[in-house]
Amino acid sequence: MPLSENAAAETPGRNEIDILIPDAFRDVLGYHLRVAQEVSFQAFSAMLEKTDLKPGWYSILTILSRHEALTPSELSKVCGRDRSTLTSTLKGLAIRGLIERRRNPDDQRSYSVCLTDEGFRMQSRLHAIAQEHDRRLDEIVGKDKDALLAILTRIVGSLGRG
C-alpha cells in the first residue's frame, strides 16, 4: 500500500524513514545495528572520497599498523570480517601498494600480511579523518558512550568471533 505524502505528519513522533521500516524490524536490535553501521560507513566514506578507500579498509590498516604481521585468519578475527570477504579486501589493498604478503618460511601454503611504507603513510592520513568522524559519533552518543561500548562489547563476547 503506497504511503500518502503526509503520512509522516499524520503519525506523531515518526518521520518518513520510520514509517517505511516494517513492523517486523521495528524492535529488532540486529536491524538497527546494521542500519547504524551502514549510515556511519556512508558518512565516513563521504569524508574519505579523495582517498579512494573504503571505511573498513581503515580498520585493517590500523590493526596492521599495530602488529608486525598477521595471518588473514588472525586479521579476520580482530576486525570481525569473514575470511572470504577479507581476501578480496586484502587483494585491493595489495594492488594499491598499501600491504604486502609474506610467505611463511615453514609452510609455503600460509602467509601473513603487513603494511608497506605507503600503507603506514595512508593509515596516518586516514587516522585524522577517522578521529573527526569519531568526534561526530561521540557528539551523537553523548554521555551514553560508555554504556553503548559496554553493550556492543557484550554482544561481540556473547556471539563470538568464530
Does the pLDDT of residue 5 top 50, yes or no? no
Q: How large is the average pLDDT for residues 106-134?
A: 90
Q: How large is the average pLDDT for residues 79-105?
A: 89
> CATH 1.10.10.10 in the chain, residues?
50-159
Instruction: Tell me what pLDDT residue 20 has.
Output: 85
Residue 9, Cβ density class (10 Å: 0-12 exposed, 13-18 middle, ≥19 buried): exposed
Name the β-bridge partners of 111: 103
More confident residue, 50 or 74: 74
| Eight-state DSSP code of residue 144 | G
Instruction: Tell me what pLDDT residue 149 has.
Output: 94
Does the pLDDT of residue 114 top 50, yes or no? yes
Instruction: Tell me what pLDDT residue 41 has.
Output: 84
The model's pLDDT over 29-68, given as tens digits with 9 standing for 90+, comes to 999 899 998 898 888 888 887 666 777 788 899 999 999 8
d(CA 112, CA 100): 8
d(CA 80, CA 59): 10
Q: How large is the average pLDDT for residues 127-146?
A: 94
Which CATH architecture fits 50-159?
Answer: Orthogonal Bundle (1.10)
Amino acid at 50: K
> What pLDDT band is residue 9 in, cutting at 50, 70 and 90?
very low
> What pLDDT band is residue 2 in, cutting at 50, 70 and 90?
very low
